[in-house]
C-alpha cells in the first residue's frame, strides 16, 4: 500500500509540474505496477480513474479527449506515463483522431494524470476470411477487417504456444483473437499478436 | 463456487470508437467499457449453448445472471478486481486447451472477459491474455 501511495503521489506531483522522471515511476516492473494499484470502485460501477475516447486536441502535454459517450476528458501525459501504440512508444507518436484508453489518477480539477495510455488498441475476435501477403481478412461481427502483419512486430500464438513471427499456420475459416492497433477512420488494423485456436 | 482457474482477456462494449463501435450493451444491455464489468460463459441456456465450456472439460462453472459479482485475480501479479456480469462470453470452446503462463502460474481455457476499465486494473491492456482465478468472495 505504501508503494501505491508513493506512486500516486509521484504521478500527481508530475501532473502538477513537479520534477519527476520516468525512472522515479519505472522502479516497478509492469506486472508489479498493476498489482500495486488500489481500487475502491464498486463492482459494476464506472471507474473515475479510467477514460476512453478519441483525441480531439493536443495542447502541450495535455490530451483533450471526447469520450464515446460524449463526455470530455483532459488527460495529462507525464514523464512517467507509459504509452502503447502497437508497441511501447513516445508522446510524439500520438495524434489527433487517435482512439485511446487511459488509466491514471483523477486530480481535483478533473484532469486525469495518466499512468498508462493505450492508443488505438483493439482486441477483436473474428474468423479468417482470407489470407493475403502480409494481411489477414477477418470477419468480425459482420464487418470485414483488414489486419496487417507488421514485420518485426506482429506475432502469432498458436493455442498457447510461445509467440512466433510465422503466420503461415493461420487458416481460412479458423477463429482468431487479434490484439492490435486500429488505423483511425478505417476498417484496418496492425497486428500486435494474433491468438489462433487449435 | 470454488475458485476456477483459467484465462482472462478483455473486450469492449457500450458506446465505443473504431471496430468496437458495433459492440453494443452486451447480453444484459448494460455493458460499458469504462465500468467494472465482465462477460461470463454461463448466464443462460442460450449463452451456454454458444460458449460451451463443457466442451473443454470445464466443470463447476455456475449459472449466474446479469449483475452477479465475480472476483478475478491475475496470477501473474496477484492483482484482483471485482466486477459484475454484463454479457455472455467468452466463447470458451473456440480456444479449448489454450494455456497461458507467467512462470509457473498457468491457466487453461478462457473463462472470463473483463471490460477495459476492469482488465487495466490488474494488467496492461497490451498483454491481451493472462492466467487467472475467478471466485465469488
For residues B99 and B106, the answer to whether their CB atoms sit within 8 Å is yes
Q: What integer is the mean pLDDT of A10-37?
A: 48
What ranges do the domains of chain A cover? 2-37+49-119, 121-196
**A140-175, pLDDT tens digit by residue?**
988 999 999 999 999 999 987 889 998 889 999 999
Tell me the shortest Cα–Cα distance from A12 to chain B, in angstroms. 18
**Residue B19 forms contact with A (CB below 8 Å):** yes
Tell me the shortest Cα–Cα distance from A63 to chain B, in angstroms. 17
- Domain span at B61: 4-11+23-135
Rounded Cα gap, residues B48 and A13, in angstroms = 49
**A34-72, pLDDT tens digit by residue?**
665 555 899 999 999 999 999 999 999 999 999 999 999
CATH class of the domain whose range is A2-37+49-119: mainly beta
Q: What integer is the mean pLDDT of A9-24?
A: 43
Sorted by sequence, the CB contacts under 8 Å of residue B76 that are 6+ apart come out as A31, B102, B105, B123, B130, B131
- B99 backbone dihedrals φ, ψ, rounded to 5°: -135, 130
Tell me the shortest Cα–Cα distance from A37 to chain B, in angstroms. 7
Contact B97 A120 (CB under 8 A): no
Is B18 contained in some domain? no
> A2-37+49-119 and A121-196 share one CATH topology?
yes
Q: Looking at the 3D structure of chain B, how many domains does it have? A: 1
Q: What integer is the mean pLDDT of A23-38?
A: 52
Q: What was the ipTM of the complex prediction?
A: 0.95
Task: Find the CB nearest B126 among A44, A118, A140.
Answer: A118
Is B101 contained in some domain? yes
Instruction: Pick out chain B residues at pLDDT < 50.
Output: none
Mutate to test the interface with A, among B6, B9, B17 (most CBs of A within 10 A): B17
**B43-72, pLDDT tens digit by residue?**
999 999 999 999 999 987 999 999 999 999
Task: Find the CB nearest A47 among B36, B76, B99.
Answer: B36
The pLDDT of residue B60: 79
**Residue A101 forms contact with B (CB below 8 Å):** yes
Contact B91 A125 (CB under 8 A): yes
pLDDT-derived band at A9, boundaries 50, 70, 90: very low
Distance of alpha carbon B63 from its chain centroid, rounded? 14
Rounded Cα gap, residues B123 and B112, in angstroms = 14
Contact B83 A123 (CB under 8 A): no
Place of cell 478486481: B81
- Average of per-residue pLDDT values in chain A: 86
pLDDT-derived band at A30, boundaries 50, 70, 90: low
CATH number of residue B56's parent domain: 2.40.40.10
Q: What integer is the mean pLDDT of A101-124?
A: 97
Is B17 contained in some domain? no
Contact B74 A34 (CB under 8 A): yes
Tell me the shortest Cα–Cα distance from B108 to chain A, in angstroms. 9
Rounded Cα gap, residues B130 and B73, in angstroms = 10
Burial of A127 (0-12, 13-18, 19+ CB in 10 A): middle
Q: What integer is the mean pLDDT of A107-130?
A: 96
Is B16 contained in some domain? no
Does residue A2 carry a pLDDT above 90?
Answer: no
Mutate to test the interface with B, among A47, A81, A140, A175 (most CBs of B within 10 A): A47
**A88-98, pLDDT tens digit by residue?**
999 999 999 99
CATH superfamily of A121-196: Nucleic acid-binding proteins (2.40.50.140)
Amino acid at each position: 500500500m505504501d508503494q501505491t501511495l508513493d506512486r500516486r503521489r509521484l504521478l500527481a506531483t508530475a501532473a502538477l509540474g513537479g520534477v519527476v522522471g520516468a525512472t522515479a515511476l519505472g522502479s516497478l516492473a509492469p506486472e508489479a505496477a498493476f498489482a500495486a494499484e488500489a481500487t475502491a470502485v464498486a463492482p459494476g460501477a464506472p471507474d473515475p480513474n479510467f477514460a476512453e475516447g478519441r483525441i480531439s486536441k493536443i495542447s502541450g502535454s495535455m490530451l483533450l479527449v471526447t469520450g464515446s459517450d460524449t463526455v470530455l476528458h483532459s488527460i495529462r501525459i507525464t514523464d512517467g506515463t507509459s504509452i502503447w501504440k502497437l508497441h511501447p512508444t513516445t508522446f510524439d507518436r500520438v495524434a489527433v483522431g487517435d482512439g485511446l484508453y487511459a488509466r491514471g489518477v483523477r486530480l481535483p480539477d478533473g484532469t486525469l494524470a495518466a499512468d498508462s495510455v493505450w492508443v488505438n488498441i483493439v482486441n477483436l475476435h473474428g474468423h479468417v476470411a482470407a489470407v493475403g501477403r502480409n494481411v489477414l481478412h477477418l470477419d468480425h461481427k459482420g464487418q470485414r477487417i483488414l489486419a496487417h502483419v507488421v514485420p518485426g512486430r506482429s506475432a502469432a500464438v498458436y493455442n498457447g504456444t510461445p509467440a512466433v513471427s510465422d503466420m503461415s499456420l493461420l487458416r481460412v475459416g479458423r477463429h482468431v483473437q487479434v490484439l492490435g492497433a486500429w488505423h483511425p477512420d478505417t476498417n484496418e488494423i496492425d497486428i500486435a499478436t494474433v491468438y489462433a485456436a487449435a | 463456487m470454488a475458485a476456477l482457474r483459467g484465462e482472462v482477456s478483455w473486450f469492449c462494449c457500450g458506446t465505443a470508437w473504431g471496430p468496437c463501435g458495433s459492440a453494443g450493451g452486451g447480453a444484459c444491455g448494460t455493458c460499458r467499457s469504462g465500468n467494472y464489468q465482465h462477460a461470463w460463459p454461463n448466464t443462460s441456456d442460450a449463452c451456454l449453448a454458444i460458449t460451451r465450456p463443457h466442451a473443454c472439460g470445464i466443470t463447476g462453472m455456475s449459472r449466474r445472471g446479469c449483475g452477479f459479482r465475480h472476483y478475478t485475480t491475475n496470477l501473474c501479479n496477484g492483482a484482483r478486481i471485482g466486477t459484475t456480469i454484463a454479457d455472455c462470453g467468452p466463447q470458451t470452446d473456440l480456444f479449448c486447451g489454450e494455456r497461458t503462463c507467467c512462470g509457473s502460474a498457468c491457466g487453461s481455457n478462457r473463462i472470463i472477459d473483463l471490460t477495459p476499465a476492469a482488465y487495466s486494473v490488474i494488467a496492461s491492456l497490451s498483454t491481451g491474455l493472462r492466467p487467472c482465478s475467478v471466485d465469488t468472495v
